[in-house]
Amino acid sequence: MRGLQLPLNQTQRIRLQRALEKLHSLSSKANSDASVTVADTIPVNYDDAFLKGHGTTELNGELVATVCGVVERVNKLVYVRALRARYKPEVGDIVVGRVVEVAQKRWRLEINFSQDAVLMLSSMNMPDGIQRRRTALDELNMRSIFEENDVVCAEVRNFHHDGSVQLQARSQKYGKLEKGQLLIIDPYLVKKSKQHFHYLEQFGIDLILGRNGFIWVGEHVEARDGMIVDQANNSEQSTVEKDQAYTPLEMRQNICRIANAVRVLSTLGFNVDADLIIETAELSSSLNIDIHDMLGSEFHVLVAEREAERRSLMTKRKR
């Protein structure tokens, strides 16, 4: 929020500052030792053994943070997760990436990591849906599955000895993403949760929150089972696919409204989740704010004020 840059007039600047100060005070009361800056002391129980992790050091008998970020504790390990850093993959993460190279038996994807991720042909569901060994013909037809600049959803499978990430897409929910927008935000704004795939039914939109900060907003696609295709219906199916190649104007507007809601939340530094995105989009609709005007200063101030009020009510209810 410190680096927030918007063309605000004097009134908007005061309103936004008040909302952000209120949000800061509420977050500080809720979790006083969560956020730290350089040289802040991290409270730990010195009677119990603990391990110093990344972003910490011991100074004058105290555990001190060496980077700005959020304190994380995993069993005895204490470390600081730096904000505004590049994505650090973990096994099981849902990521969205863009194909940068089609190589021998593999695709290379940009996932906002220090190295390109690798999606092996053997770790990919084949178009026919049949589980079988990959042949030389499959390798020749790799570009018919993914080619350069395609947007792909996958899952982090494991890591190679050189530190590179290996992905897998052995499910109908993974694969190529079309008819939508790819947004790139700071990875720390996307928290790990049980569900990263969302269908926003009221908008007819598929929303994928990639842990790497790549967000996909696109037209809803029904999960199809490609195991068996009736040859007699091939011509009819191709006709339907041609009709579906055009995205209706209302759908494109919904995609842009949801995408702009994500952009506003990212600019304000709020954690991005499906509920907050929907609330932000519905707020713009209820106030009859045009899609383009959502990126203006006034709507940013309104969203910050609304979020401060919402968190304040939640705090009072807990009491």
Residue of 280, 275, 274 whose CA lies nearest to 302: 280
Confidence grade of residue 280 (pLDDT, cut at 50, 70, 90): very high
Do residues 277 and 265 make contact, with C-beta atoms less than 8 angstroms apart? yes
Model confidence pLDDT, tens digit, residues 135-174? 888 889 899 999 999 999 999 999 988 888 999 998 888 9
Same domain? For 185 and 309 the reply is: yes
Give alpha helix (H) positions in the chain: 10-30, 136-140, 234-243, 249-268, 274-286, 297-318
Regarding predicted confidence, which is higher, 19 or 235? 19
Q: What is the DSSP string of 45-112?
A: -TTS--EE-TTEEEETTEEEESSSEEEEEETTEEEEEETT------TT-EEEEEEEEEETTEEEEE-S
Strongest mean pLDDT among 49-53, 63-67, 80-84, 198-202 = 198-202
Same domain? For 141 and 190 the reply is: no
Confidence grade of residue 235 (pLDDT, cut at 50, 70, 90): very low
Domain count, the chain: 3
Domain that holds residue 44: 32-83
In a domain, 20, yes or no: no
Residue of 205, 200, 213, 183 whose CA lies nearest to 255: 205
* Averaged pLDDT, 41-50: 80
Regarding predicted confidence, which is higher, 29 or 6? 6
* pLDDT score recorded for residue 239: 45
* pLDDT score recorded for residue 72: 81
* pLDDT score recorded for residue 208: 97
For the cut 60, the answer to whether the pLDDT of residue 131 exceeds it is yes
Same domain? For 168 and 183 the reply is: no
3-class DSSP state of 107:
strand
For the cut 70, the answer to whether the pLDDT of residue 129 exceeds it is no
Same domain? For 184 and 317 the reply is: yes
Same domain? For 289 and 200 the reply is: yes
Residue 234 class from Cβ within 10 Å (0-12 exposed, 13-18 middle, 19+ buried)?
A: exposed
* pLDDT score recorded for residue 244: 56
In a domain, 293, yes or no: yes
Same domain? For 289 and 318 the reply is: yes
3-class DSSP state of 224:
coil
